[in-house]
Amino acid sequence: MPLIIIVALALFSVLWLTGEPLRLEWRRRRLRSQPFPAHWRDILKRRVPQFRTLPVDLQLQLKKHIQVFVAEKRFVGCAGLEIDDDIRVTIAAQACLLLLNRRTGYFPGLREILVYPGAFAVRRAQTDAGGVVHEGRAVHLGESSSRGHVVLSWDDALQGAADTRDGHNVVIHEFAHQLDQENGEANGAPPQFGRARMERWSVVLNAAFARLHEQLRLQEEPALDPYGASNPAEFFAVASESFFERPQHLAEAFPELFRELSAFYRVNPLIW
Ligand SMILES: [Zn+2]
């Protein structure tokens, strides 16, 4: 192949690769500038009461994020569930709460959201110490994978949106895992700018995680869902649910953790 063609191809590839983020940003800007569909607004009104409690500037931001999220992510109905805008917008609104005021790639590793009508059974194979594989079935409300998908129970996504103050929200939970999985497997330490910040995060989260364990050991009333004591990744996801749905409670029980989450999510749900 003549050198000139090789050079032209190389140049074209470089321009194409460096142009991709620009094209993506341009597409997103265009999506955000479209009018928000009136029937989507009705869905927010009916299904996501927390939307109305947000300050107006955050409502506007959330609507723009929803437009990008719905356009970019594939929703797949499972076990006979038909996907419609009701499902797309209700799930997108809760997921995008986690993106407000932040520089975001819109959960860049996530390609699709699988939605079941209700809680779903997951077949799991576990190998015991003797090397025997046992097949088990566990019931789940949601799952988040670092390989590009989230699985949700629609019943529970709806219930999570409807009760904004019970501290349980499966969509917030699974999408907190997605943020955590942006730098590898979920470990309770989502990517943040600056080493000092990551270190402080680790100290505060570990202390709160240990405190929750202590409360459970002493059979005290746990300040967070005991499921958060499973491991640091679950602790971060459970604390995120509490941060958005029971901010007053979290701020009183774990003030330093509340401050870290508020710095990470760049919002203060105490004033909503
Ligand atoms: Zn989890």
What residues sit around ligand 1, an ion, with C-beta below 5 angstroms? 234, 237
What pLDDT, on a 0 to 100 scale, did the predictor assign at position 23? Answer: 93
Q: How far is the CA of 196 from the centre of ligand 1 (A)?
A: 26
Q: How far is the CA of 148 from the centre of ligand 1 (A)?
A: 16
What pLDDT, on a 0 to 100 scale, did the predictor assign at position 186? Answer: 95
Choose which CATH entry (1.10.472.150, 3.20.20.70, 3.40.50.620, 3.30.450.70) describes domain 26-166: 1.10.472.150
What pLDDT, on a 0 to 100 scale, did the predictor assign at position 136? Answer: 73
What pLDDT, on a 0 to 100 scale, did the predictor assign at position 259? Answer: 98
Q: How far is the CA of 66 from the centre of ligand 1 (A)?
A: 23
Q: How far is the CA of 226 from the centre of ligand 1 (A)?
A: 12
Beta-strand ranges (E) seen in 117-232 are: 120-127, 133-140, 142-144, 149-153
Q: What is the mean pLDDT of each run of 10 residues along the chain (272 residues)?
A: 73 67 94 98 98 97 98 98 98 98 96 97 74 77 95 97 96 97 94 94 98 97 96 98 98 98 98 92
What pLDDT, on a 0 to 100 scale, did the predictor assign at position 271? Answer: 94
What pLDDT, on a 0 to 100 scale, did the predictor assign at position 138? Answer: 84
CATH architecture type of domain 187-272: 3-Layer(aba) Sandwich (3.40)
Q: How far is the CA of 38 from the centre of ligand 1 (A)?
A: 34
Q: How far is the CA of 174 from the centre of ligand 1 (A)?
A: 6
Q: How far is the CA of 267 from the centre of ligand 1 (A)?
A: 22
Q: How far is the CA of 131 from the centre of ligand 1 (A)?
A: 27
What pLDDT, on a 0 to 100 scale, did the predictor assign at position 10? Answer: 73
Where do the structural domains in the chain lie, given as residue ranges? 26-166, 187-272
Q: How far is the CA of 141 from the centre of ligand 1 (A)?
A: 10
Q: How far is the CA of 234 from the centre of ligand 1 (A)?
A: 5
Q: How far is the CA of 237 from the centre of ligand 1 (A)?
A: 6
Q: Which residues pair with 150 in a beta bridge?
A: 113, 144
- Beta-strand pair 112-116/120-127: unpaired
What pLDDT, on a 0 to 100 scale, did the predictor assign at position 6? Answer: 76
Tell which residue, 209, 205, 187, 186, has the closest CA to residue 264.
205
Q: How far is the CA of 272 from the centre of ligand 1 (A)?
A: 26
CA-to-CA dists, residue 18 to 5, 21, 28, 79, 140, angstroms: 20, 7, 17, 41, 41
CA-to-CA dists, residue 260 to 50, 75, 79, 240, angstroms: 22, 32, 39, 11
101 neighbors 89 (Cβ within 8 angstroms): no
Q: How far apart are CA 64 and CA 239, in angstroms?
A: 26
Measured at the CA of 212, the angle between CA 176 and CA 262, to 5 degrees, comes to: 40
What pLDDT, on a 0 to 100 scale, did the predictor assign at position 124? Answer: 74
Q: How far is the CA of 205 from the centre of ligand 1 (A)?
A: 16
Q: How far is the CA of 270 from the centre of ligand 1 (A)?
A: 24
